Structure 1
Amino acid sequence: MPLPTVAIVGRPNVGKSTLFNRLVGKRLALVDDRPGVTRDRREGEAELIGLKFRVVDTAGFEDEDPETLPGRMRQQTEAAVRGADVALFLIDSRAGVTPLDEEIARWLREQDTPVALAANKAEGRAGDSGVLEAFALGFGDPAPISAEHGEGIADLFEALLPHLEPEGPPDDVEADDEDEDEDRPQGPLKLAIVGRPNAGKSTLVNRILGEDRMITGPEAGITRDSIAIDMDWPTIDGGTRPLRLIDTAGLRKKARVQDKLEKLSVADTLRAVDFAEVVVLLLDATLGLEAQDLRIADAVLQEGRALVIALNKWDIAGDPSSLFGGVRHALDEGLAQVKGVPLIAVSAATGKGLGQLIDAAFEVRDAWSKRVSTGQLNRWFERAVEANPPPAPGGKRIKLRYLTQAKTRPPGFILFGTRVDQLPSSYQRYLVNGIRKELGFGAVPVRLTLRAAKNPFDNK
């Protein structure tokens, strides 16, 4: 049974993201003193004194033209409220009830979604008058809370409880945990979309979802938080496969990132890459491949994530065949350690290539998660060493004994032998390339660790 949903709504800078982080128990949403930090809806699972629900952080509610960025942010907030079981209306008790609070209250009264009222920043006595003013909004007793300090949790629980179903009995919870354990090996594909600003990441996410879930527009850098969204991707046979899409903020050259908020967004994007299984690097086909794209790709591979490259805006690209060949060649030169990374031409505007892109992501996840038996691995290893024996630096032979796979996701191998510390990097690349090509790992990052066999006479 899906969890009930609570949408936090209020004007800018009243502490919505701070409360969201408090409820989910993690610093997921970016928080800053300036207003308007949050733009897209961010969701997370929350627990409040045993009450479990899904909480949605929304952008500050502003009265702006729908065509402007604040106006598009408001549309996302309105959609979140309409889809919620209860709207948690948050005001700043120290500022008191403002005209914008009153406008939000009027709008909420017109909706079908029940409303719970909370007055934030109520620690100490500075917020007492604002809490009293909140009674006039017509949503019953306001819950005085401090999201930053964790005060008023019991009052918030009482405000939400009438609108949410309590947690099920313990045996239901245990059954859910068992289901999660069964699903873990084939859990949702965690797919992060990264790239430079204005490459079309949010538009691509919306096209995959089939709805305007992310705010888009001509302005660069609209997305600030990394937003994860779960969905079921339809398959050819009529079934579905679980998918967790992660939209991220654009990554500019490090030297250009000066603003504190942009630095936080970049750090959030890098955390999203670390969380993901497969990363789609989205390129703008009208601009081609730039050095920053290769830097992003290299960072993804260094993190050990599977990589897919997507050329977006294919519908308006000039000389497409020449462009594709040029980008393919540049990628193979710039990412020589993983030649053959999937390159897919897509259009977020028209939907071209989306099926091919998602299929490629599932395929590289399978390779990234693959495990080869020790027997199969060493049969290949013996053939590889026989075909190309290791060198003998200084006339002393390097003896390679055997190879074993130590881990997956990304695949990691340990090579045992004598004098392996003198094994040239070129020979290590020969082995890694052979593992990829001959054993079906494709263009995923492969780790090779060298370990010398223990000398039984070391302690004699």
Structure 2
Amino acid sequence: MILGVTEARTSARARVMPKLPVVAIVGRPNVGKSTLFNRLVGKKLALVDDRPGVTRDRREGDAHLVGLDFRVIDTAGYEDHDAQTLPGRMRLQTEAAIAQADVALFLFDARAGIVPLDEEIARWLRQSSTPVVLAANKAEGRAGDQGIIESLSLGFGDPVQMSAEHGEGVGDLFDALLPHLEGKGEAEPEEDEDAFSPDAPLKLAIVGRPNAGKSTLINKMLGEDRLITGPEAGITRDSIAVDWLWRDLKGEDHRVKLIDTAGMRKRAKVQDKLEKMSVADGLHAVDFAEVVVLLLDATLGLEAQDLRIADKVLQEGRALIVALNKWDIAENASSLFNGVKRALEDGLSQVKGVTVITVSAATGKGIDQLLGAAVEVRDAWSKRVGTGEMNRWFERAIEANPPPAPGGKRIKMRYVTQVKTRPPSFVIFGTRVDQLPASYERYLVNSMRKELGFGAVPVRLSLRAPKNPFDSKG
């Protein structure tokens, strides 16, 4: 593949690779791989459903098993299809996971026994240089005895007998994995999720309607086909997080955790249980993120659903950037851009001036500008204003526009303090502040944005009056 200028620079950037040893879970569809993944990471990160083929992209997480720390990869169910089909592209993701793993954990359904696809996977794994640990899932009770006996024909020795759903067989799994993982890698230092420093990874989630190009954009950033893409709507189901190191145009490195999410359709159109789970997972990813990029298809423009997604992001207190994808093929570009800006101004009353960036996931154009804007908006989202600067702004704002006097009684605002960051939150103390009109609150917030450098990030403002010592209710 011939690389363009942006793509060549992007692909040359160093990825942040896990320092822990890697275990890749592989097997045919619906044998319990995602259930085991969730068990090992101790969280319900991967979507789990009774139907086969729920997992599509490979998902990674940090696992802890009886004192053994490792990186675990959940893969799509291995199916023998043409590489151009969706199942075929899923299989390529599984093959990539095995290639980077220290050991492959080959899971089969003991109750169903060994089927031809299990044998096909076994033949493929034997051709790989990656060591294999065979595990019989759903082996509780006696129903899986025949399947365990049949598995000896696969050539990987006695399987680990376990139940991912009930947590049985954990000790045996530890014994089987230990020889392949011991002495490899090193534990990564734990990060305090509540502490912030400019050197902490930028948690950047990409959200939007189906087929906006979210996965394609992340693949272009990484310079590799890390996520499955294609013309089919709704390919992405799980929210997938990928650690990355982005080098900006000044040559400075920035750690980034990229989060891909499932397409979010209008709620009334979402009837399927699995799609509901995918959308809920995407909304959870918004909660986890610091900056959220709402990706729009420039050939379709801004729709009501996009505004609903943007409003949800801002309600959650996350910094928002809007990116117009497929800009390289958009028609009437200037009027489209101005129309989107006006629609955002009208539709997002709580935040004015949201940054809009034009990008092309196909060519890579605009990616550096998008990431640069994300770094800047996170800085504003994380900003803390000193007491002196805060008070000087407060005095200027009140002098320029004094608060009203409803019923002839003055509202006295005594002082303001910043109580938290991420998003920036403030409390104003005074008398009768409960009578302050919403329009005046908006004036104060807009003044903060302009004069204190918060820009178009969510700003929380609350009002408090001192407790009345003569109030008998206290």
Whole-angstrom CA distance in 2 between matches of 1:371 and 1:186? 17
Residue in structure 1 matched with residue 172 of structure 2 by the alignment: 155
| Offset of residue 456 of structure 1 | 3.8
What does the per-residue CA deviation read over 1:139-165, in whole Å, with 9 as the maximum and x for residues that have no partner? 122000100000001111111111102
| Offset of residue 329 of structure 1 | 1.1
Count of residues in correspondence between the two structures: 456
Instruction: Note if contact 2:248-2:372 (Cα within 8 Å) is conserved in structure 1.
Output: no
Whole-angstrom CA distance in 1 between matches of 2:232 and 2:80? 20
Q: State the SS of the aligned residue for 1:76.
A: helix
Instruction: Note if contact 1:50-1:167 (Cα within 8 Å) is conserved in structure 2.
Output: no
1:428 counterpart (438, 441, 444)? 441
Superposition pairs for residues 126-205 of structure 1, below 5 Å? 126-165=143-182, 176-177=189-190, 186-205=199-218
Whole-angstrom CA distance in 2 between matches of 1:348 and 1:397? 55
Residue in structure 2 matched with residue 59 of structure 1 by the alignment: 76
What does the per-residue CA deviation read over 1:353-404, in whole Å, with 9 as the maximum and x for residues that have no partner? 0000000000000000000012111111111111111111111111111111
Whole-angstrom CA distance in 1 between matches of 2:232 and 2:137? 32
Q: State the SS of the aligned residue for 2:278.
A: helix
2:327 paired with 1:314: yes
Superposition pairs for residues 18-417 of structure 1, below 5 Å? 18-165=35-182, 176-177=189-190, 186-417=199-430
| Offset of residue 458 of structure 1 | 3.6
What does the per-residue CA deviation read over 1:287-316, in whole Å, with 9 as the maximum and x for residues that have no partner? 000000000000000000000000000011
Compare 38-47 and 330-339 and name the one that shifted more. Answer: 330-339
Q: State the SS of the aligned residue for 1:362.
A: helix
| Offset of residue 176 of structure 1 | 3.3
Matched letter for residue 280 of structure 1? V
Q: State the SS of the aligned residue for 1:336.
A: coil
Whole-angstrom CA distance in 2 between matches of 1:176 and 1:310? 33
Matched letter for residue 285 of structure 2? A
| Offset of residue 183 of structure 1 | 7.8
Instruction: Note if contact 1:202-1:215 (Cα within 8 Å) is conserved in structure 2.
Output: yes
| Offset of residue 454 of structure 1 | 2.7
Matched letter for residue 286 of structure 2? V
| Offset of residue 321 of structure 1 | 1.1
How does the TM-score come out when normalised to structure 2? 0.93
Instruction: Note if contact 1:52-1:166 (Cα within 8 Å) is conserved in structure 2.
Output: no
* Unpaired stretches in structure 2, ≥5 consecutive residues: 1-17
| Offset of residue 18 of structure 1 | 0.2
Instruction: Note if contact 2:236-2:262 (Cα within 8 Å) is conserved in structure 1.
Output: yes
Instruction: Note if contact 1:51-1:167 (Cα within 8 Å) is conserved in structure 2.
Output: no
Q: State the SS of the aligned residue for 1:405.
A: strand
Instruction: Note if contact 2:21-2:184 (Cα within 8 Å) is conserved in structure 1.
Output: no
| Offset of residue 166 of structure 1 | 5.3
| Offset of residue 178 of structure 1 | 8.6
2:25 paired with 1:12: no
How does the TM-score come out when normalised to structure 1? 0.96
Whole-angstrom CA distance in 1 between matches of 2:244 and 2:299? 30
Q: How much identity, in percent, do the aligned residues show?
A: 76
- Tell which has more relative contact order, 1 or 2 (C-alpha 8 A, sep 6+): 2
